[in-house]
Structure 1
Amino acid sequence: MTTGLVFGKFMPVHTGHLALIEFARKQCDQLIVSMTISPDDVISPDLRLQWLTELLAPYSTIEVVAETNEFHDPTLTLWDATKLWAAFIKRRFPDVSVFFSSEEYAVPLAHHSGLQHVSFDPPRQQVPVSATLIRQQPACYWDYIPAVVRPYFVKKICLYGPESVGKTTLARQLAADYQTVFVPEMAREMITSNDFVLDDFIRIGRAQTEAVQQAERQANRILFCDTDVITTQIYSDIYLSQIPFILPELEQQVHYDVYALLDIDVPWIADDLRDQGHHRAEMLARFRAELDGRKLPYLLVSGSYPERLITLKNMADKLLGSD
């Protein structure tokens, strides 16, 4: 029985890794995919292991493991470092007889370990990507990111501010222009009046959070969100003079790359739920103060609706690396 080994940081796992793993799987009776964990990893080991496990679950001959890089020493030469790697592999994976890689360390590692090395596409012509490139410019390499990994790299813009400033209209238009999805304001789908009880705001906060998390799995590079859970907290305070403890917890579950604070220099448009038209300036100040207090990045977006759309597109392009 042939037991093979593929190892790496998989930060993140991408289609190049999956091609390597598939290449190795076809040549082994059993394949160990070992994810290396180092102190300076910029993506959570738990999340990376979750991605790998989910992607490789269909293959009964593949075992996914995570191993701490106990021999991490950047001062060592490649030759000396691979001596340590070789000793670790022989101790941790004694049944392995062959390893597969595309990296330059393979030659000295094979020498020190005595294991057979099978090279896979070293110039990376089959899948021209690397984890570093994906981390630097995920939008440019989107097609190389597996679906399970994509939510991590989705850029999120929150359209934020008082009533009647164009959040819904702009979110819908931006989603169409960027061929992606948007998250609506869930409160408008859940309430019919402004006669609230505390549980209403809890339900709204949960629904808004879940809607973002669901939309992340469908988004194409970028996600536009009409409002957020900070907004839910503001209105809970305004209508009931209290904020349910769970709302700040829900707020922490979603990270927005930038907030677009929409100015009030557009006409007020009344409807059955909007009732703060006589406090627009105070509301804008409250919304801004919440961002300032949290030290969250934001841009005040003013002007006509076409001007706002241009500003928001510039913001989106900058996030996507195409400015």
Structure 2
Amino acid sequence: MKRGLVIGKFMPLHHGHIALINFAAVRCDELIVSMSYTDQDAIDPDLRLGWIKSMFTDPRIRIAKIKDDFDNESLALDERTALWAPVMKRTYPPIAILFSSEAYGEPFARHLQAEHVAFDPDRTIVPVSATKIRNQPFQYWEHIPAVVRPYFVKKICFYGAESTGKSTLAMRMAEHYNTEFVPEVARELLITNDFTVEDIITIGHAHAQRVEDKLKTANKLLFCDTDAITTQIYSKYYLNVVPGVLYELEAKVKYDLYFLMDIDVPWIEDGLRDLGHKRQEMTDIFKSALEQRNIPYTTVSGDFQQREAIVRHSIERLLKD
């Protein structure tokens, strides 16, 4: 059997890696894709392994991870790869061909006693690297596979009391930036404010699931109308209790920008809103919840045009950074 090997951190997996693996897979009978990891990695190893497995389902491609506790980056490549080879020999069956796009390829193959086949070492086919993607993911968005993109999508929350324009801005910004938005899911599930603890838990789960679903198709940004903190606030106000699961759901979804909506716009009755007489009190509660968590936020006030300008300015800065 002619067995091949591709190694890497795949942090993250990108189209260059995919091209390399596809190139290698048709040139051997079995291909081992070995993902190295450490406890200090910027991206969770199991998440990265899942990305690779979702992209390559051919049984001839064997995907594995190996803890990188045998390298010494202070050494020259020849000495470094001399440390790698024995570990690979102990871990995997005999390797006939090493496929790589890196300078380590030749010395590593020699220590493995394997042939080396280089693929696009000058990065002309896919001009990108994992480091560039981590540093500037939006600049290299086209080189990031769909399964990986949700990791880099920036989540933006419109947050605050009733009737302050959250839904309108979420939809408007999603349209402007050609991406997705998550509506206030509670409005899809409730027809009155007479709800139970079970109802509020259902709302919390439904909102978290909607965020997860929309992340899969979002284009760099995902705009969200409310969040798990909002669900907690209304649960406390109407039911005088906050189920623990709502805090667990909060921990699962972290937002990159919070816009706290001011109440300097008219309150509009819609059949479900009933806190028009407590707008300032509710705004203080919302603001306090962010400050208790040390979550930075931008206050959005003024008429609709002014509000949109504030939001777009912050988003443009986020995209640039």
Secondary structure of the 1:165 match is coil
The equivalent residue for 1:22 is 22
Does 1:113 find its partner at 2:106? no
Alignment correspondent of 2:317:
318
Per-residue deviation, 1:74? 2.8
2:220 alignment partner in structure 1: 221
Q: Does the 8 A contact of 1:31 with 1:61 survive in 2?
A: yes
The alignment's TM-score, normalised by the length of structure 1, stands at 0.96
- 1:95 shift after superposition: 1.4
The 1-side partners of 2:313 and 2:155 are apart by 14
Consecutive unaligned residues in structure 2, runs of 5 or more:
none
1:179-234, Cα deviation, whole Å (9 max, x unpaired): 01100001111111111221121111111111111111111111000001110110
Q: Which moved more, 1:296-305 or 1:282-291?
A: 296-305
CA distance, structure 1, for counterparts of residue 35 and residue 226 of structure 2: 38
Q: Are 1:148 and 2:147 an aligned pair? A: yes
Report how far residue 287 of structure 1 moved: 0.3
Displacement of 1:72 after TM fit? 2.7
**Greater shift after overlay, 87-96 or 245-254?**
87-96
Distance 2:85 2:150 in 1: 35
Distance in 1 of aligned mates of 2:137 and 2:255: 16
State the distance in 1 between where 2:73 and 2:7 align. 18
Number of residue pairs the alignment of both structures matches: 321
Query: Aligned residue for 2:9?
Result: 9
Partner Cα distance (2:299, 2:126) in 1 = 41
C-alpha displacement at 1:93, in angstroms?
2.5
- Partner in structure 1 of residue 271 of structure 2: 272
2:71 touches 2:84 (CA, 8 Å); kept in 1? no
Alignment of 1:183-202 (within 5 A): 183-202=182-201
After TM superposition, list the pairs within 5 Å mapping 1:202-217 onto structure 2: 202-217=201-216
Q: Is the 8 A contact 2:71 2:83 kept in 1?
A: no
Q: How does 1:94-133 map to 2 (within 5 A)?
A: 94-133=93-132
1:255-270 map, 5 Å: 255-270=254-269
Q: Which amino acid aligns with 1:227?
A: T
> How far apart in 1 are the matches of 2:60 and 2:20?
15
Residue 40 of structure 2: aligned partner: 40
Give me the whole-angstrom Cα distance separating, in 1, the residues matched to 2:125 and 2:195. 58
| CA displacement at 1:142 relative to structure 2 | 1.3
**In 1, Cα distance between the equivalents of 2:39 and 2:181?**
36
Shift of 1:270: 1.8
Query: CA–CA distance in 2 between the matches of 1:89 and 1:207?
Result: 45
Matched, 1:300 2:299: yes
C-alpha distance in 2 between matches for 1:140 and 1:231: 33
In the alignment, residue 28 of structure 2 is paired with which amino acid? C
Deviations 1:60-98 (A, max 9, x none): 210001001121323323222111012222222341111
Aligned equivalents of 1:148, 1:111: Cα separation in 2: 35
Distance 1:175 1:201 in 2: 26
Provide the rounded CA distance (Å) in 1 between the counterparts of 2:238 and 2:60: 58
- The residue matched to 2:252 in structure 1 has which SS? coil
State the alpha-carbon separation in 2 of the partners of residues 42 and 17 from structure 1. Answer: 18
Q: Give 3-state SS (helix, strand or coil) of 2:229's partner.
A: helix
Q: Deviation digits for residues 280-311 of structure 1, max 9, x if unmatched?
A: 11111110110111111211112211111122
Instruction: Read off the aligned partner of 1:127 and give its amino acid letter.
Output: V
Report if aligned partners of 1:180, 1:220 keep a CA contact under 8 Å in 2.
yes
Asked if the contact 1:159–1:224 (Cα under 8 Å) also holds between the matched residues in 2, the reply is yes
Moved more, 154-163 or 273-282: 273-282
Distance 2:122 2:115 in 1: 20
* 1:55 corresponds to: 55
Once the two structures are TM-superposed, the CA of residue 134 in structure 1 deviates from its matched residue by: 1.1
Equivalent position SS for 1:252: helix
Decide whether the 8 Å contact of 2:81 with 2:104 is kept in 1.
yes
Deviations 1:86-130 (A, max 9, x none): 222222234111100111111222333322110000110100111
Alignment identity in percent?
Answer: 52
Structure-1 residue corresponding to 2:249: 250
| Matched letter for residue 29 of structure 2 | D
Structure 2: which amino acid aligns with 1:29? D
For 1:30 and 1:111, how far apart are their aligned partners in 2?
Answer: 20
- Name the CA distance, whole Å, in 1 between partners of 2:201 and 2:226: 15
TM-score, structure 2 as length reference: 0.97
User: What amino acid maps onto 2:35 in structure 1?
Assistant: M
Moved over 6 A (4+): none
Do 1:38 and 1:72's aligned partners in 2 also have CA atoms closer than 8 Å? no
The residue identity in structure 1 corresponding to 2:288 is A
Matched AA of 2:303 = S
